[in-house]
Amino acid sequence: MFPTSDRATYIYKENMNSAERLKVVKKHVIGGAHEPHIHNRAIKGVSQQEERKYKYIHVRTVGKGSNVGYIELDRPSALNALCDPLMLEVSNALDDFESDDSIGCVILTGSNKAFSAGADIKQMAPVAKYADIYKAKFLSQWDKIASFRKPLIAAVNGYANVMAGGCEIAMMCDIIYAGDTAKFGQPEIKIGIIPGAGGTQRLPRAVGKSKAMEMVLTGDPITADEAKQYGLVADVFSAKDLLPKVIEKAEKIAANSHLVTSMCKEATNKAFEMTLAEGLHFEKRMFHSTFATDDRLEGMMAFIEKRKPNYSNE
């Protein structure tokens, strides 16, 4: 369920001062484990000089029009455990896709074996003091997923489950599609911690208080079908059909005005932050603002003229 840790590797010396402890935290929490493969993936719109080199993820564009970004977690030796270097790479890739005007939607996925087994326990084990992990800003690299402005889809698969931090980053995405073998859980309670990236906040909003409490207090997972029943995932597909189906959904989203889809996403997310009256007021103002865009006029004229719209994203 979680990557195991050799505790003997991470024993603090009693006489370590705070500066020495922080060095250990930076080495293991910020530096992370290193693995041998390096994946070079060019992102559309990024020059050769700016092309990033990735060690823990694959990045490319997919779809008939190459207008869908694709990020695949690739740390198989640890079931895609979310070490800080991996999450920094995800954040960098999202930054690049956000600045690429040709990209209208992004897919975040893992392997057929696992989406992600959660945060890397080998990184968390050496932390001895609250001040150390606070100063290291642990989990801060994860924030980009939730703040990404374009539509972001989590495609989760694998019998090794979507656990702990893996479940939390999936919930940061706008839509979750699951393979029929996937399981979702927040088992942090079993190792003496609580969820730290949204498990106690986003999960109740998705599945309701009672089910969320059961999941975070027992650590027991739910199946993909149960996740769909409770509203955590939008749909469930067979493992082999998951990615083709998700790419198809992403292409449909990317075919719309990229500007307006971002506005629609922002308005929908406000439903979780505002009262109903405040949310309705915000929605109305966002609706009014679409009339200032070229794409609103193009979309309406295409409908009247019975043709396909040609959006400029302006």
Indicate if the alpha-carbon torsion angle 313, 297, 277, 211 is positive or negative: negative
Catalytic site includes residue 165:
yes
Q: Among candidates 112, 124, 97, which has minimal Cα distance to 258?
A: 97
Single out the catalytic residue among 78, 114, 117, 119: 119
Single out the catalytic residue among 32, 63, 69, 165: 165
Q: 37, 55 in Cβ contact below 8 A?
A: yes
Q: 90, 108 in Cβ contact below 8 A?
A: yes
Measured CA to CA in angstroms, residue 100 lies from 45, 103, 105, 313 at distances of: 6, 6, 11, 12
Single out the catalytic residue among 72, 168, 197, 227: 168
Catalytic site includes residue 314:
no
Single out the catalytic residue among 182, 188, 212, 254: 188
- In the 3-class helix/strand/coil scheme, how is the chain assigned residue by residue? CCCCCCHHHHCCCCCCCHHHHHHHHHHHHHHCCCCCCCEECCCCCCCCCCCCEECCEEEEEECCCCCEEEEEECCHHHCCCECHHHHHHHHHHHHHHHHCCCCCEEEEECCCCCCECCECHHHHCCCCCHHHHHHCCCCHHHHHHHHCCCCEEEEECCCCCEECHHHHHHHHCCEEEEECCCEEECHHHHHCCCCCCCCCCHHHHHHCHHHHHHHHHHCCCEEHHHHHHHCCCCEEECCCCHHHHHHHHHHHHHCCCHHHHHHHHHHHHHCCCCCHHHHHHHHHHHHHHHHHCHHHHHHHHHHHCCCCCCCCCC
Catalytic site includes residue 231:
no
The residues annotated as belonging to the active site are: 119, 165, 168, 188
